[in-house]
Amino acid sequence: MGDHLPRDLLTDIFSRLGVKQLCKLKCLSKEWLNSISSPHFKKQHLDQSKKRPTLSLISSPRSNYSFSSQLVHLSLINPSNYELVHEYESIAEIGPGYFVCSSGLDLLCFYQTGYLGKIWICNPITKKTLALPMLFGFAGRACLGYVSSTNEYKIVASYEGKVKYVDGDFYTGFEESLCFNILTLKLEEETSVVGSWRDLLSCTQYSGTCHQPIHINGFIYWLAFAKDNTLSSDHVRILEMNLENEEIKTFCCPNGFSDFGFSHLSEINGHLCLVQNKRDGHMLNIWMLKAHESEAWCLEYSIEVHESASNFNIIGYLPRNNESTGDILIRSLKGDLFCYETDTKSFKELQSLNIVEYKWCALFYDSFFSIGLPGN
């Protein structure tokens, strides 16, 4: 095959294959091995992978628990018909306890919702897992992001904390604040280089956030609420962290948004979205940030949902082959999965998946990111 096809065409074909297939092709030809292992090809493959994220159902059955660890299993879904490709493949081993899983990148991030500060990073394709340095006293939320300019991953932990309050030259006590810690993870010569946790400037005008933060194109977003906890659009803000310079800015929610308790942030086709569940549970309004600099919002979708369900959460967006249309993946509070087809504007239940037992639902894409430490 390599003797009859131009190198550029062969590279383009390879860039559209999965990591598992490419690892097998490495063994067939020295030329293919060199091509697939090159940094240029890995960058091209990553760019292609971002266009075809994988829907996964993730579980950790209690039968796999021990005093020291628990196994995490993955079920992959065919995005064309939402049928199971395979079910319950073991991908990771993490500590015991209750964890939250987040993704949207090529790596999965598991973190414990307690005070031990346990966070794991996992490549579900290579089945490699890395335990990050302990973050003691962390009882908040974590989000994994990526900085393309430096080829770095950054994990940001946000939590409600207290900072010393100083009035002039006098210390007057502690003030509630929204605090941030950040850790950098970088791949150098097939080895993961892990930094240490660093404190960032706290936001004293906010006492905390609601729901899981999300990462979009090098930025992390939080839905934050003011200290008076007034549930209105005037007291709810969106915080944005630029992962490249680690600066935080604040901008307003769209006009018409008022119900904070049933709302969350999401990403649809590369855009930041604010999702509002109507109180009657039958309508899902989705505002999309169309212009970042001018903070121009648009009510992009108003989805009439199933009568018996309420409190929906958007998992993410699966593009179609032409990339101009796709499905918005939605999960109800009960754990049922649905999709909204953006071209036909139809809302339907994914019945074939709702018979599968799972704990987390996430999107990720293939990558060659090598999780490991020097000497391993």
Mean confidence (pLDDT) of the chain: 81
Domain final residue, candidates 9, 25, 49: 49
Provide, for the chain, the percentages of residues in helix, strand and coil under a 3-state DSSP scheme, each rounded to the nearest 5.
10, 50, 40
Q: Give which of 146, 128, 232, 132 is closest to 190, Cα–Cα.
A: 128
Residue 324 is assigned to a structural domain of this protein: yes
Do 296 and 168 fall within a single domain?
A: yes
The answer on 216 and 328 residing in a single domain is yes
Residue 369: inside a domain: no
Residue 374 domain-assigned?
Answer: no
pLDDT for 175: 66
> Which region among 56-60, 230-234, 269-273, 361-365 has the lowest average model confidence (pLDDT)?
230-234
CATH classification of the domain holding 328? 2.120.10.80
**pLDDT top residue among 10 and 218:** 218
- Whether residues 208 and 273 fall in one domain: yes
Neighbour tally for 183: CB within 10 Å = 21
Least confident of 52-61, 242-251, 277-286: 277-286
Q: What is the pLDDT of residues 21-58, one digit of tens each?
A: 888 888 888 888 888 888 788 888 888 888 888 888 88
Q: How far apart are CA 140 and CA 224, in angstroms?
A: 13
Residue 253 has what pLDDT? 84
Does 288 lie in the same domain as 174? yes
What's the CA gap between 105 and 145, in Å, rounded? 8
Report percent pLDDT > 70 for the chain. Answer: 83
Does position 353 have pLDDT exceeding 50, yes or no?
A: yes
Q: Alpha-carbon distance 30 to 36, whole Å?
A: 10
- 201 pLDDT exceeds 90? no
* 278 and 135 in a common domain: yes
Give residue-wise pLDDT tens across range 303-312.
888 655 567 8
Is 370 domain-assigned? no
| Averaged pLDDT, 216-239 | 75
Residue at a domain's end among 10, 31, 49: 49
Mean pLDDT of 132-144: 85
In a domain, 372, yes or no: no
Q: How many domains does the chain have?
A: 2
Give the domain extent around 294. Answer: 50-364
Predicted confidence at residue 232, as pLDDT, reads 47
For residue 34, give the H/E element and its range: helix 30-37
Q: Is residue 371 part of a domain?
A: no
- Domain end residue (candidates: 49, 66, 87): 49
- Quote the CA–CA distance of 229 and 208 in Å, as a whole number: 10
Residues 6+ apart with CB under 8 A from 32: 2, 14, 25, 26
Q: What does the longest C-alpha to C-alpha distance in the chain come to?
A: 78
Tell me the per-residue pLDDT of 146-175, one tens digit each, with 9 for 90 and over.
Answer: 998 888 899 999 887 766 555 555 555 566
* Shared domain check, 298 and 155: yes
328 pLDDT above the threshold of 90: yes
Same domain, 350 and 246: yes
